[in-house]
Structure 1
Amino acid sequence: MRVLVVLLALSGCCLAQLSVKMPGDIVLGGLFPVHEKGEKSPCGAKVYNRGVQRLEAMMFAVDKINADKTLLPTIRLGVNILDTCSRDTYALNRSLEFIRGSLNNLDVSAFECNDRRPPRIRSNSTGPVFGVVGGSYSSVSLQVANLLRLFHIPQISPASTAKALSDKSRFDYFARTVPPDTFQAIALVDIVKSLNWSYVSTVYSEGSYGEYGIEVFHREAQERNVCIAAAEKVPSAADERVFETILGKLLKKQNAKGVVLFTRAEDARGLLNASKRMQTSLHWIASDGWGKQQKLVESLEEVAEGAITVELQSEHMPGFDEYMMSLTPDNNHRNPWFDEYWQDTFSCILPQYMNAEDVDQEICSMDLRLSEKVGYEQESKVQFVVDAVYAFAYALHNLHRDLCRPKDKVCPAMATYDGGDFYRNYLLNVAFKDLGNSEVKFDSQGDGLARYDILNYQKLPNTSGYHYKVVGKWFHSLELNIDELVWNRGSDVIPTSACSLPCAVGMIKMQQGDTCCWICDKCEDYEFVYDEFTCRDCGPGRWPYPDKLSCFDLPLQYMRWDSLFAIVPAAISCLGIILTMGVVILFIRNNDTPIVSTSLDYLDFSFAFLP
C-alpha cells in the first residue's frame, strides 16, 4: 500500500496535464486520443479530429442524460476526461488519476453524517469513479484494463477491437460497444476471395490491434487457399524511411498487387505518403483503422483511389452535428483542447495565442463555424462513444433502483457497491435502443454486435473531389456489389492479384514452393485431368473429352463392303492371290525343267503360299 501511495503522489506531481472535468454525483472517466504520438515527448503537436469528436460525444451524451427526467433523475453525471496521446504507456500513467480519485471517494472524508442520518456523499465531492469510457486504441485499452481491474473499475471501450480483450480471465472488467477483430479479419478475407485474389501482401501495426488482427486474417486466409506474399510490421513511431523500406519489399512481390492493411490510421497514411513519393500504385484493402477517415487521405487522394475499406456500421447520432456546429472557442471552455482543434480546422490562429512570430498568420474570424463546407463530418465512432455512456447510465439507473430510495442521490450502498458485481450483474445485462434507434447490448464476453460497411474510395464524377462510397456490408456473411467498385485511375476492371494464372484446359499445375505459385504442364492426348496436379491415362478403348475432365468409351466401328476403305484392300488382296496362283501354275507346268527339278519341291511350293 505504501508503494501505491508513493506512485500516486508522483503521478500527481509529474503528470499535471490538462483534462476535462465536470463535477457530478457520479464521475465517469474518459480516455481519448486527442493528440498524436510525440517523437521525443509523449504527446505530439497535431490534434486528431476523431479524438476531439469522441471527447465531445461523451460530454454530449452526459448532457443529454443529465437533462433526462426519466434516466437517473436524481443523479447528475460528471466526467474526468484525459488525453492518451495515442500512446499506451502514457495512457497508463494518466489513468492513475482515476485510481487516485476512486480511492479518495471511497474514503470516509467523502461522506458526511448530520443529525444521526445515514452517511451520504458530501455536496462538494466529485463522486466515485464508477467506470471509464475508452480507450480508443486496443494497445491503450489492454494496458488500462489491467490497471483498472485491480481496483474493480469497469471499462467500456468505443473503439478497441483486439481479440485478446474478449478473454474474461484477463479482462474481467472490460466491455466494448464494438465487436472484436475476429469478425473484421473474416470480412477482409471474404473481400479478397470475392475479388478472386489468391496472392496478397499484408501490412500491420505493431501492437495488439494490428498483430492480433493480422494473425486471424492469416489463419483464415490459409484455410481458404489465399497465400501471403509478404507480411510487414510497422514499428511504433515509424519514420518515412521505414515506410519506404516496407513499400519496397511489397513492390518486390510483383504479382501480389493487392495489399491488406491492418494498421492504425497514422501508419496507413505513412504508407500512402511513401507510395506518393515513390510514384507507385498498389490496390489497398484496409481495416477500420483506415475506415472512412477523410483526414487520412487528405492530399493523398490519387494513391488512395480504389481502396476498399471496412468500417463498423454506425448510425448518425441525431443532435450531435448541431451540438458540434454550435461550439466555438468563446462558448466551449470546458474542453481545454478545443482552441487547438479550432485553429487546426480553420488553419488560423486565435488572437490570444498570437506572438511576435505569428504576424504573418491569418487570425481566426469571429464568424467561423463548423460545417460541412469546411469539411466537418460526424466521426464514425461517435455512436459507440454515446452508446458506452448510455450503457453506464442504464446500468447505474438499475443499480440505483435496486439499492436506493427513489428520491435518493447516491446512497451509501450504491457508493460502496463492488465494481465487479456492478459489471457482471448490471452492465453486461443492459439492452436498449440508442439515440439512432440501433440495438445496444453485450454478449457474455462483453463484446458488441458485429456489423460492418464495405467502402470504396472513389473519385466523384465530373469533379476533382473524392468520397467513400458504401458498396457492401458484412453481417455474418459478405454482400458486395462488385459492379460498383472503382479502382485506380477510374478503372472498373478488377485487378489481378495472383502468383500464377489459372491453367488452360487440359493442363495441370506443377507447384514451385508456394502453394499459390505454379507452372502449367499439358496432359498427353490420351490422358485426362484427374485433379489440378495429376494427369491419368483413360485406358484401353477410352478417350478424353475435349475439356479433359473425364473419358468416354470409343464406339465400335465396322467396315462396309461398299466403302472405299474396303474395296481397295480387297482388290489388292485379290491381285495378290491371282499372282500367287500364277506362280504355282508356272512351277507345275515346268516341274521337269532342270531348275525346278533340282530344287526341293516341298520347300519351293511352301514359299509360294507364304505371305
Structure 2
Amino acid sequence: ICDTLNDSRNLLFSYLFLSFSLLHSVCCLSSMCNLRRQFDLNGMHRTGDVILGGLFEVHYTALFPDRTFTSEPQQPTCQGFDTLGFRHAMTMAFTIEEINRNVHLLPNVTLGYSLYDNCGALVIGFSSALSLASGREEQFLLQENCTGTPPVLGIVGDHYSTFSIAISNVLGLYKMPIVSYFATCTCLNDRQRFPSFFRTIPPDSFQVRAMIQVLKHFGWTWVGLLVSDDDYGLHVAQSFQSDLAQSGAGCLAYLEVLPWDSDPGELRGIVHLIKTSTARVVMVFAHEIHMIHLMEEVRRQNVTGLQWMASEAWVSATVLQTPHLMPYLGGTLGTAIRHGDIAGLREFLLNIQPNQDHSNNGKSMVTQFWEHTFQCKFAPPPVGWVETGGTLCTGQEDLENMETEFLDVSNLGPEYNVYKAVYALAYALDDMFHCEPGRGPFGGNSCANLKRIEPWQLVHYLQKINFTTPFGDQVSFDGNGNVLPIYDILNWLWLPDGQTVVQNVGVVKETARGEELILDKDKIFWNFESKTTPQSVCSDSCRPGTRMARKKGQPVCCFDCIPCSEGLISNSVECTSCPEDFWSSPQRDLCVPKKTEFLSYHEPLGIFVFGIFIRHRSTPMVRANNSELSFLLLVSLKLCFLCSLLFIGRPRLWTCQLRHAVFGISFVLCVSCILVKTVVVLAVFKASKPGGGASLKWFGPLQQRGTVLALTSVQAAICTAWLVSASPCVVGSTVGFAVLLGYIGFLAILSFLLAFMARNLPDNFNEAKLITFSMLIFCAVWVAFVPAYINSPGKYADAVEVFAILASSFGLLVALFGPKCYIILLKPERNTKKAIMGRGIRLK
C-alpha cells in the first residue's frame, strides 16, 4: 500500500541519509563508535546467534512534540493501537520460535529478532529501519577495516509501499535484504533501484491482471476506475490502462482520482459521474479511509445497481461491512492476498504475557496490547486515572474469554505472508550454512565467513530459495524479487439478518500457461433483484452476420453493428470472405459448401422440355416441304431441341464439354440454312428478270450444301479451339462462349438484313418475310439471354440457357414452318402445285 511522498519528507530522507553516512565515516576513523542517541520506540527484542529485524504498524498514528530547539527534542508518541498490526508482529515472533524448534532447519543456530513499530508515520518507520541496520549497542569497538557482522542480517517489512521505497533506497545501497509482506507497488520491481528488495505478496501489476481476468470471465467490457492519490493508486491506474488495452478485455468509462482531503464538492462530482455513467462495474484501488468517505456520498445520493470491485487494500475492511452500507456494497467482488493456515499460532497468541520484553521507554508492544485489550493500566497509573473508573492490570486477565479479532486466525492473509517471509530468510541462511568449502558461490568458489556474514551474501541465497509451506504453497522469487503470484477472490455475502460474510469464491494464480482463474460461480452473491450476473458493456455484442463499426471519437468498446455483404461472414467483429468452394449462409454467420445444382429429369422443367420434344416428334411440318434446305433446316432444328437435353441431369465431364459445342454448331447449322435460303430467294428473284438467269448457276444444290458446310465448319473450329484451350467446365471460361455466340449473332444479323431487303418481293408465298420475322425473334431472344445468364446463379443459369434455346428454336420453327403447316393442315386446297405456282416464283 502506498502513500504520497511529499517534498518535505524527501528532504528529511536526504538529511537522515547524510547523517547515517557521516556517522559511518566517523566510526571508520576511530577505534570506537558511540551512538549519540538510541532509538527504541515500541521495540521488542530477543537475542540469538543471528538477528532478524521486523517493521510493523502496531499503532496507526503518531504525535510529534513541538520543536522549540531550546531543549533536546523528545521522541514522538504513538497512538491508536492496531490489534491486527500487533498480530503481524507476533506472527514473526511465533515463526522464529517455530524455526528454532525445527531440528532440520538451521540446526545449532538460534534465531533472534528485533521488532519495531512504525506508528503509521514514515519518519518513525525510516528511523526504525536505520536503528536495525546500525544496532542498539551504545558503544562498540570496530575492526581496523571497519567491517563486522551487522546487528541484523535481514528485515521483514515494511507494511506500506512508500515506507518500503524509502527504506530500500537507503539500505539497498548496503545490499541489506528486505522482505516485505504487504508492499505491493509495481515500482518496487526496479532491481537497479531496489537490488535487495523481496516480497511475499504479489505486486499490483499481478493484482491488476487478476482483476482483468475476472472482467473477461464475466464479459464486463465497460468499467469505471477509481484510485487513491498516491503511489499505490497512480501506479495502478497506469498499469491497469496499459494491461486493459493490451488484453483487449474492455475499456474505461472513466478514471477518477480520490483526494486525500475528502473534499465534499469533489467527492460529490465523482459520485454523480458514477451515477450517470452507463458502466455498471466500478473498480476501486484505494484505502479504507477513501472508501469510507466515498461510500457516505454514495449513500447520500442513493447510487444503487452497481457491481463494486475491491482491491486488496479494502476488500477485507470490516469498517465498510455495516448494515447501512450493505445495500450499496453487497455482492462486492475483490482480490485478496493469499490466506493460509498457521498451525499453533492461536495457542502462541494465548500464551502472550504482559511482562515480556520491557523496552527502555518502559512499555513493550505486549504491555500496550494488554492495556488496550483489557482497558487497564499497569502500575503506577496516571494521576486521577483510578478516580475516573479505570482499573489496574494484574497480568492474569483471561485473554481467551475476550471478544477480540486478535485471536481469530481463520482469515490469515498478511500473517501468512509474514510467515513465508521469515521462512524465506531462514531457508536462505540454512543454504548458506550448508555451503561446502571450495564449492561456494563467491570468489574462488568460497563460502561465506559464518563469523562475519555480509548482508549481500544473504541476498545471493535469498534469490535462489525454493520451499513449500505446510499449507501447500510454493515459495520462490523471480528476477524482480517477487514471489510466485496468487490471489484469492472474495465476495461479500449479505445475509437476511443484516450481517456480512466475506466468502472465498475462487483463486487467480500464475501458471506456465499464464494467469489462471478458478471461480465457483454458484457461491457468488449478486446484490441485484435478478440475483444474476450483471451486464456492463458500452455496446452489446454484434450478432453473427454483422460486424463492429467503431463510433468516431469514442473508445473501441463503443460501436455500431453493420450487416455483412452477401458472400461474407462475420465473427461479430469483422466480415471475411468464404473459401472458393463455399457460400455464406443466409444468416452470414458461417460458410457452407456450395451445392451441386443441375436441372433434373425429375424436375418440372425437365419433364416439360421432354414432353415438348415427345409431343412434336411427328408434327406435320416435318413433311411440309421436300426441298433439301428445308429438310436440312428441320434436322438442325431437331438438333437444337435435342442439345437442351445435355443441360439436364447431374453434370458429367463429357456433357459439360459438349453442351455448348453441340448448341453452337446446331444453331450455326440452322442459321446457315436460313442464310442460304435467303440468298437463294434473292437469286431466284433476280433470275426471273430478263438477263438474270446466269446468277442461278452460282446457287445450285451443290453450292448451297457447300456454303452451309463451310459456315458450320467455322463454328466447329471455334468450338474445337475452345475445348482445347479452356474447357467450358472451368469457371470463368467466357471468351470461347462469347466468340461462339458472336459468330451465331453475326450470321443471324446478316440473314436478317438480307431477308429484310427481300421482304417486299412479289410472290404468292414470299419466304423472305417469314425469314425476316424469324430472325427478329431469334435476335431478340439472344439479346435478352446475355444479361439474364450472367445474373443467374447455379442451376438457374442452365435453365436460362435452355429457355433461350427452346424459345429461339420454337421461334424459328413457328415463323418459318407455321404458315406451311397452316396450309397443309387447314387449307389443303392451297397445298397444290397449281396454287403455289400460280403467280409466284417457282421454289426449288
Partners of 1:522 and 1:331 lie apart in 2 by 77
Structure 1 window deviating more from structure 2 (24-33 vs 232-241): it is 232-241
User: Cα–Cα, structure 1 residues 537 and 242, in superposed 2: closer, same or farther, change >3 Å?
Assistant: same
User: Cα–Cα, structure 1 residues 7 and 230, in superposed 2: closer, same or farther, change >3 Å?
Assistant: farther
1:469 aligns to what? 503
User: Cα–Cα, structure 1 residues 332 and 294, in superposed 2: closer, same or farther, change >3 Å?
Assistant: farther
Partners of 1:218 and 1:189 lie apart in 2 by 10
Partners of 1:360 and 1:276 lie apart in 2 by 39
1:65 aligns to what? 99
Per-residue deviation, 1:142: 1.6
Partner secondary structure for residue 129 of structure 1: coil
1:216 aligns to what? 239
2:555 aligns to what? 514
Alignment of 1:578-589 (within 5 A): none
User: Cα–Cα, structure 1 residues 264 and 120, in superposed 2: closer, same or farther, change >3 Å?
Assistant: closer
1:137 aligns to what? 160
User: Cα–Cα, structure 1 residues 393 and 504, in superposed 2: closer, same or farther, change >3 Å?
Assistant: closer
Alignment of 1:341-490 (within 5 A): 348=375, 369=399, 374-375=404-405, 376-378=407-409, 379-402=412-435, 413-424=449-460, 426-460=461-495, 463-476=497-510, 477-488=516-527
Per-residue deviation, 1:402: 4.4
Q: Which has the higher strand share?
A: 1
Partners of 2:541 and 2:383 lie apart in 1 by 66
Per-residue deviation, 1:431: 2.9
CA RMSD of aligned residues (A): 4.7
Per-residue deviation, 1:537: 12
Confirm or deny: 8 A CA contact 1:395 1:430 kept in the other structure. yes
Per-residue deviation, 1:497: 1.0
User: Which letter does structure 1 place at the counterpart of 2:399?
Assistant: R
The yes-or-no answer on 1:35 pairing with 2:59 is: yes
Per-residue deviation, 1:382: 0.9
Structure 1 window deviating more from structure 2 (305-314 vs 337-346): it is 337-346
User: Cα–Cα, structure 1 residues 317 and 358, in superposed 2: closer, same or farther, change >3 Å?
Assistant: same
Gapped runs of 5+ residues in structure 1?
112-118, 122-126, 405-410, 564-601
Alignment of 1:319-358 (within 5 A): 319-327=344-352, 329=354, 336-338=364-366, 348=375
User: Which letter does structure 2 place at the counterpart of 1:54?
Assistant: H
User: Cα–Cα, structure 1 residues 358 and 303, in superposed 2: closer, same or farther, change >3 Å?
Assistant: farther
Confirm or deny: 8 A CA contact 1:198 1:499 kept in the other structure. yes
Partners of 2:532 and 2:389 lie apart in 1 by 46
Partners of 2:290 and 2:531 lie apart in 1 by 28
User: Cα–Cα, structure 1 residues 549 and 419, in superposed 2: closer, same or farther, change >3 Å?
Assistant: same
User: Which letter does structure 1 place at the counterpart of 2:349?
Assistant: M
The yes-or-no answer on 1:52 pairing with 2:83 is: no
Alignment of 1:582-601 (within 5 A): none
Confirm or deny: 8 A CA contact 1:349 1:361 kept in the other structure. no
Partners of 2:46 and 2:536 lie apart in 1 by 53
Alignment of 1:484-499 (within 5 A): 484-488=523-527, 492-499=531-538
1:152 aligns to what? 175
The percent identity for this pair of structures is: 24
User: Which letter does structure 1 place at the counterpart of 2:483?
Assistant: G
Instruction: Please give the TM-score of this superposition, normalised by the length of structure 1.
Output: 0.74
Cα offsets for 1:57-107 (capped at 9, x unmatched): 111112223444554444433322222344545533432222332898985
Per-residue deviation, 1:521: 5.3
User: Cα–Cα, structure 1 residues 397 and 511, in superposed 2: closer, same or farther, change >3 Å?
Assistant: closer
Confirm or deny: 8 A CA contact 1:527 1:535 kept in the other structure. no
1:305 aligns to what? 330
Per-residue deviation, 1:438: 3.5
Confirm or deny: 8 A CA contact 2:432 2:448 kept in the other structure. no
1:502 aligns to what? 541
2:819 aligns to what? none
Task: From 558, 574, 587, give the equivalent of 1:547.
Answer: 587
User: Which letter does structure 1 place at the counterpart of 2:347?
Assistant: E
Confirm or deny: 8 A CA contact 1:247 1:274 kept in the other structure. yes
User: Which one has the largest radius of gyration?
Assistant: 2
Per-residue deviation, 1:171: 1.4
2:799 aligns to what? none
Task: From 314, 329, 339, give the equivalent of 1:290.
Answer: 314
Partners of 2:77 and 2:251 lie apart in 1 by 39
The yes-or-no answer on 1:251 pairing with 2:275 is: yes
Per-residue deviation, 1:363: 6.6
Alignment of 1:85-100 (within 5 A): 85-88=119-122, 90-100=124-134
Instruction: Please give the TM-score of this superposition, normalised by the length of structure 2.
Output: 0.55
Cα offsets for 1:580-609 (capped at 9, x unmatched): xxxxxxxxxxxxxxxxxxxxxx9xx99x99
Confirm or deny: 8 A CA contact 2:569 2:577 kept in the other structure. no
User: Cα–Cα, structure 1 residues 32 and 269, in superposed 2: closer, same or farther, change >3 Å?
Assistant: farther
Partners of 2:391 and 2:357 lie apart in 1 by 19
Cα offsets for 1:109-141 (capped at 9, x unmatched): 899xxxxxxx999xxxxx721111011222221
Partners of 1:105 and 1:480 lie apart in 2 by 58
Confirm or deny: 8 A CA contact 1:102 1:129 kept in the other structure. no
Confirm or deny: 8 A CA contact 1:106 1:128 kept in the other structure. no
Confirm or deny: 8 A CA contact 1:314 1:380 kept in the other structure. yes
Q: How many residues align?
A: 548
